[in-house]
Amino acid sequence: MASSKFAYYILFLFLSSILFALQVSSTSRHVLNNHKGFKVSLKHVDSGGNFTKFERLQRAMARGKSRLQRLSLVANFATLSSKDETNDVKSTIHAGNGEFLMQISIGSPSESYNAIMDTGSDLIWTQCKPCKECFDQSTPIFDPSKSSTFEKISCSNKLCEALPMSSCGDNNCEYMYTYGDYSSSEGFLASETFTFGKVSIPNVAFGCGNDNEGSGFSQGAGLVGLGRGPLSLVSQLHMSIFSYCLTSINEDAYSKSSTLLMGSMTRDDHNNIITTPLVKNPTQPSFYYLSLKGISVGDTQLAIKKSTFSLNKDGSGGMIIDSGTTITYLEESAFSLLKKEFSSQVNLPVDDSSSTGLDLCFKLPSNTNNIEVPKLIFHFEGADMDLPAENYMIADSRMGIACLAMGSSSGMSIFGNVQQQNMMVIHDLDKETLSFVPTQCDKL
């Protein structure tokens, strides 16, 4: 009889533990799924500096050219891997770096950090103690031992399997994430409570980096990936809609905050909304590809071959939209046509000094920023985007110059953040669409 009672007692404990585990798991999902979304302020990496408009643009372009090279390297690596049928290795190079910082808090009690927002990669990570090697950051390095909600993630976890490079040590998931400028983060995958604005979310998986090398991340304390892969913040929170709104490059607005909206904080019922399909690239699934059909300058549609912006079967080519690249880069044959037509329609002498680093500049009449420029329209699939002049022409009366904020690339094209300024850029991953809404972003 005693043994029978003992057996029932053991069974009761077993069932109670299962019920408790289910309650904990259900609670975590309940907390996650019932968020209406949240709003996070973004600041530009140069917003605190005393730079002129062109100095800011030049600094951003230098980072942008480096990022373009990395993004092209990522795409080329994936293309080569896809052609080699015996190669089972996933693409292990990522773009890294970025132009906007988002404030996040990690742990319990929480510590605040500025992390790079990156729509071109997935992994969320920060530097962690103890550090074998860490770059300098303005805030203290995260100390997992001081947080009551920190847990390491096991090797059997699906998110561990989603890492491009991982190994198993003491059943802990160890990772290495490399970037195109030879920067890298190496450590272990863990889960922690993350706070965005006033919203705290438990069990967010992130990389706890103990060995972080390179110069690509010195402006922040890590990175928040908003790509389309399973490790990104977007995928982990199951918030299929998010948007950002980036302030103007002009002096009066540049120091003001831009905005990231997650979940139902993003509305897609605006007036003047234009919408185009998002395109998937199986060899590079994290990027947000768009289908660009053509470009018009004034009333002239450029004679660009239909295949110029197409995503090829091997994963090369195509156009991505990227918050971390400053100016738009067009495949070189298309940019050549744009440059020629644009020059012919602007009634100003061309400036050949190359002082700005941009490919097409004009000499301004004295003491003016006001010039007539032709319309510039991007014909995306299902959506014609008539860009405001300030989204493609940068003028500075002190320098006596006005420039087209675009350049040429080889292969992949990128729709940059200058062209996105003062637009609510809405990513809807359920509908597989991307929408643009003209918005005064510094008023949000």
Q: What residue spans define the domains of the chain?
A: 37-245, 268-437
Q: Could you tell me the two tokens for 199? A: 């919203």
CA distance 25 to 30: 9
pLDDT the model gives residue 35: 55
pLDDT the model gives residue 21: 36
Cβ-in-10-Å burial (0-12, 13-18, 19+) of 8 comes to exposed
pLDDT the model gives residue 182: 67
The DSSP H or E segment spanning 8 is helix 2-33
pLDDT the model gives residue 144: 97
Do residues 425 and 243 lie in contact, with contact meaning Cβ atoms separated by under 8 Å?
yes
The DSSP H or E segment spanning 342 is helix 332-345
Q: Could you tell me the two tokens for 91? A: 């693409």
Do residues 53 and 223 lie in contact, with contact meaning Cβ atoms separated by under 8 Å?
no
CA distance 444 to 437: 13
Compute CA distances 39 → 99, 103, 236, 351, 432, whole Å: 18, 11, 17, 43, 22
CA distance 66 to 109: 37
CA distance 17 to 23: 10
CA distance 262 to 266: 6
Q: Which CATH superfamily is domain 268-437 in?
A: Acid Proteases (2.40.70.10)
Indicate the DSSP class of residue 91: P
pLDDT the model gives residue 9: 38
Q: Which of 46, 118, 122, 181 is catalytic?
A: 118
> Mean pLDDT for each 10-residue chunk of the chain (444 residues)?
42 37 33 67 82 76 69 57 44 60 95 91 93 88 97 95 88 85 86 94 96 76 92 93 90 76 76 94 92 97 96 92 91 97 95 86 82 95 96 88 92 93 95 95 89
pLDDT the model gives residue 31: 42
The type of residue at 213 is E
pLDDT the model gives residue 82: 46
Do residues 187 and 203 lie in contact, with contact meaning Cβ atoms separated by under 8 Å?
no
pLDDT the model gives residue 395: 86
End-to-end CA distance of the chain: 71
Phi, psi of 420 (to 5 degrees): -100, -5
Q: Which residues of 381-417 are buried (b: 16+ CB within 10 A; e: fewer)?
A: eebebebeeebbbbbbeebebbbbbbbbbeebbbbbb
Cβ-in-10-Å burial (0-12, 13-18, 19+) of 230 comes to middle
Instruction: Report how far Cα 298 is from the mean position of its chain's Cα atoms.
Output: 31
CA distance 100 to 105: 17
Between CA 93 and CA 261, with CA 311 as vertex, the angle to 5 degrees is 65
The DSSP H or E segment spanning 173 is strand 172-179
pLDDT the model gives residue 121: 86
Instruction: Report how far Cα 338 is from the mean position of its chain's Cα atoms.
Output: 27
CA distance 411 to 395: 29
CA distance 375 to 392: 10
Cβ neighbours, 10 Å, residue 166: 17
Q: Which of 46, 181, 322, 351 is catalytic?
A: 322
Phi, psi of 62 (to 5 degrees): -60, -45
Cβ neighbours, 10 Å, residue 270: 13
Compute CA distances 73 → 311, 360, 408, whole Å: 16, 26, 16
Multiple choice CATH, 37-245, 1.20.120.160, 1.10.730.10, 3.30.70.890, 2.40.70.10:
2.40.70.10
pTM: 0.85
For the question of residue 430 being annotated catalytic, the response is: no
For the question of residue 118 being annotated catalytic, the response is: yes
